[in-house]
Amino acid sequence: QVHLMESGGGVVQPGKSLRLSCEVSASTFSSSAIHWVRQGPGKGLEWVAVISYDGSNTYYGDSAKGRFAISRDTSKNTVHLEMTSLRDEDTAIYYCATPRDGSEEAPFDNWGHGTWVTVSS
Amino acid sequence: DIQMTQSPSSLSASVGDRVTITCRASQSIMTYLSWYQQRPGTAPKLLIYAASSLESGVPSRFSGSGSGTDFTLTISSLQPEDFGTYYCQQNYGSPLTFGGGTKVETK
């Protein structure tokens, strides 16, 4: 079973930045793409971004393009989501997830518990 | 981007009922379709992948069907632990869009 642990959430003012982290089991980290998915209060799931197993490819949802950046830290088995120019509508719980065969477009069979981000003045 | 539309957005059902949820894609996604269950306060759980393949450990009362643009998730006999929200997701191409969700509530 893959272990995923998100951290870095909190309350931040509009326009500010925040970095989320997702620590992944060492056995999985180097062979799997990692996704971020978010869910606003009382809302549905929204895919945010993905980074390939080797970091060579990254893709973003429309709401993240130009403001968020996903990266991998192989020394810490961690994926980061750097969020800038935060808006009220970015308020959500952010989950990281791994696909069932490691590829970027496969279904997500492992999820973390999520970390809350609240954008508020 | 591929749009995913689920219906209904909510439904009320009783234990033992047969429940059907539909998902429509804005273009053909072949069978690159997954279903997730989310209980309140928890992360989503993968139920079905490739439109009709049951994820390991998922009860056989769950089944999926469809291809192209139209898909169905069926729960043959609703159990108390099945109440929650169900989402479809297309895995055909990035961005991997989700449907809006179907909330299954007790009647």
Over residues A21-70, the pLDDT tens digits come to 999 998 899 999 999 999 999 999 999 999 999 999 999 999 999 999 99
Q: Decide which of B92 and B106 is more confident.
A: B92
Q: From residue A19, give the alpha-carbon distance in Å to each of A8, A70, A81.
A: 6, 10, 6
Report the gap between the CA of B53 and the closest CA in chain A (Å): 11
Interchain proximity A113–B1, CB inside 8 Å = no
pLDDT of amino acid B73: 98
Sequence-distant (≥ 6) Cβ neighbours of residue A91 within 8 angstroms: A40, A41, A117, A118, A119, A120
Interchain proximity A44–B97, CB inside 8 Å = no
Is residue A1's pLDDT more than 80? Answer: no
- Check CB contact of A112 with chain B, cutoff 8 Å: yes
pLDDT of amino acid B107: 86
Interface test with B, best of A103, A108, A110, A116 (most B CBs within 10 A): A108
Maximum Cα–Cα distance across chain A: 41
Residue B59 confidence class, pLDDT cut points 50, 70, 90: very high
pLDDT of amino acid A102: 85
Contact A73, A55 (CB under 8 A): no
Interchain proximity A104–B94, CB inside 8 Å = yes
Arithmetic mean of pLDDT, B12-27: 97
pLDDT of amino acid B25: 98
Tokens of residue B104, six digits? 């299954």
DSSP 3-state assignment of A88? Answer: helix
pLDDT of amino acid B99: 98
CA B66 to chain CA centroid, Å, is: 12
- Check CB contact of A86 with chain B, cutoff 8 Å: no
Contact A94, A81 (CB under 8 A): yes
Say how many residues make up chain A.
Answer: 121
Over residues B24-36, the pLDDT tens digits come to 999 999 999 999 9
pLDDT of amino acid B46: 98
> B99 contacts in A (CB within 8 Å)?
44
- Percent of chain A scoring above 70 in pLDDT: 100
Please identify which residue in the block is written with the tokens 């060492």: A26
- The strands making up B53-54's β-sheet, listed across from edge to edge, are B10-13, B102-106, B84-90, B33-38, B45-49, B53-54
Tokens of residue A49, six digits? 């971004």
- Check CB contact of A42 with chain B, cutoff 8 Å: no
Q: Are strands A78-83 and A108-111 parallel, antiparallel or unpaired?
A: unpaired
H or E segment to which residue A26 belongs: helix A26-29
| Residue B47 region by backbone torsions, left for phi larger than 0, else alpha for psi between -120 and 50, else beta | alpha
Is residue B9's pLDDT more than 90? Answer: yes
Could you tell me which residues are beta bridge partners of residue A101?
Answer: none
Size of interface A-B (CB pairs under 8 A): 63
Which one of A44, A50, A113 has the shortest CB-CB distance to B43? Answer: A113
> A111 contacts in B (CB within 8 Å)?
43-45
Interchain proximity B91–A106, CB inside 8 Å = yes
Phi, psi of A15 (to 5 degrees): 90, -15
Contact A36, A110 (CB under 8 A): no
Residue A2 confidence class, pLDDT cut points 50, 70, 90: confident
Phi, psi of B88 (to 5 degrees): -100, 155
Over residues B42-52, the pLDDT tens digits come to 999 999 999 99
